[in-house]
Every structure is written in C-alpha cells, then in structure tokens.
Amino acid sequence: MTTMPPIVSAADLVEYPDAVLADVRWCLDGRSGCEAYEAGHLPGAVFVDLEQDLTATSATPTAGRHPFPDPDAFAAAMSNLGIGDDSTVIAYDDTGGMTAGRLVVMLRMLGRNAAVLDGGLTDWRGELMTGAGAEREHLHFTPCAWPAERFADADETAALAAGGGLVLDARTRERFIGEDTRIDARPGHVPGAVSAPWAATIDPESNRFRPVGDLRDHFNSLGVSEAGSAVTYCGSGISACMNILAMEQAGLPPARLYVASFSGWTADPERPVEVGP
C-alpha cells in the first residue's frame, strides 16, 4: 500500500534517497518533452514518455486520446525505466504537475509509492544534467489490473451529472464554456459538469500546490462535501489527475477518473455537449 503523501517538496527528497526521479514533461502543442529533458533535467532522473509509456498504443476514438495501457504494457514500461515493485517514484514536469500527475495517479492506484515533486522543474534550485541520462537497471514490475472502483466510464459520468452528482471538468474555463475551440472536437462540456480547472490547485506565484486548507475549501466550494461521489475528467485523462491528487492532499476522497474524458465523449456523436457557464 502507498505510504507516502501524493505531493512532496524538494526539501523532502532527502527522506527518499533511493527514489526514482521521473521527468514526465509533455506538451500539447507537439513540442518534444524528450528534447527538453536532454537540454536539462534533475540529476539522475529518467525520462518518461507520456505517449509511449503511459498511454495505450491503439484504441477506439471513444477511448480518448490517452487511454490507459493494459497492465502488461504498463508493467513492461515501468520495468524498462528501472521502476520495480518496491520502487518509490517522485515525478516532476515544468507545469506544476499537470503531466507528472498522470504517472503518480497510475502508480498510486496500484498501491505503489509515488508523489509529485511540488513546484517541479521551475522550483528546482540545484544543478541540472544534460544529455540522454544513464540507463537504469531493469527491475521487475508485476502487472496488476487497474482497480475498477477508481474509474468511471461515459455512461457512469453521464448518469452522475444528470442525477445531481458531482462531475469536475479539469480543463480551462474557456474550453469548458466553449469559448476556446482550438483543441476539442466539439466546444463545451459534459452536460451537468462543473468547471474545476486543474490550474486552480496551483499557486500561480510559487507554481506549487496551494496549502491543504485552501485546497479543501476550493473543492468543497465545488460541492465535494455534499456529493456522495465525484468524477473528474479533462481533455484526455491527463490534467484531471491533478484534481485527484489535490483532493487526496486535502484529505478528501479522490474523485474517480473518466479516462477517455472530453476527447472520448465528443468522439461519440450520440453524446450531447453543453456550452456556457
């Protein structure tokens, strides 16, 4: 079982001397996270390719842009990265955790010790290494089935939203209301969902997670305390992981993840969308 908090600071790294540092940089606009890693990364960190290591290589459009890989494929990717059954993983990126959170949520769902490095690369004050990095020893990572209770599919998400339950949309408010049409196939959001941008969990000045009390107030203002259960989604199941981790950090039950998210929802022409606030 996971024994570490979902978020750790740079000062906390001394408590985890054997942790695998995972660089999970990725850009929606197509810029190379690997090239950014080679230009400068935390000493000893491995590069985790979100598209190759954390995403299924083939799926139907309604599975969304970044469906979870099957357990065998995920286990193989972790083993190749030098992450084994007993490894502790501390993941970071350059956005405060938006992409690193995906790896951390996946590992924590399986009971593995994993956390996001608070502030990530932008808050790092130490030296950086360049180049491809050293190859890590291949370690055994046992394939484990993804826990069904941590997920919601499109039907469950629709039923929860229609029935007065809480469905959190982690995309920007502009995408939620349908004002920003550059990314999503159809503008708007899942009918009945609530706008809960992942960036609201981050202090814009420090680029770190907001204090626990602030996070709890934030999610309770969205209706978490009144909801029996909550589901969160985003564009493709990546940034929604920040809401999951922030809720756990705040001492709240983490929302279930609708992995296919809005990219999977809009791929089905029978699924309605709602625009506006």
Give the active site residues. 234
Residue 8, strand partner residues: 117
Contacts of range 180-185, beta carbons closer than 8 Å, 24 or more positions apart: 183/28, 183/235, 184/235, 184/262, 184/263, 184/266, 185/263, 185/266, 185/267
Residue 26, by phi and psi: left (phi above 0), alpha (psi -120 to 50) or beta?
A: beta
Residue 239 amino acid letter: S
Structure tokens at 44: 């000893």
Q: What is the DSSP string of 207-227?
A: -SBPPHHHHHHHHHHTTTTT-
Contacts of 245 (CB under 8 A, 6+ apart): 6, 7, 97, 101, 104, 105, 116, 254
Secondary structure letter of residue 140 according to DSSP = -
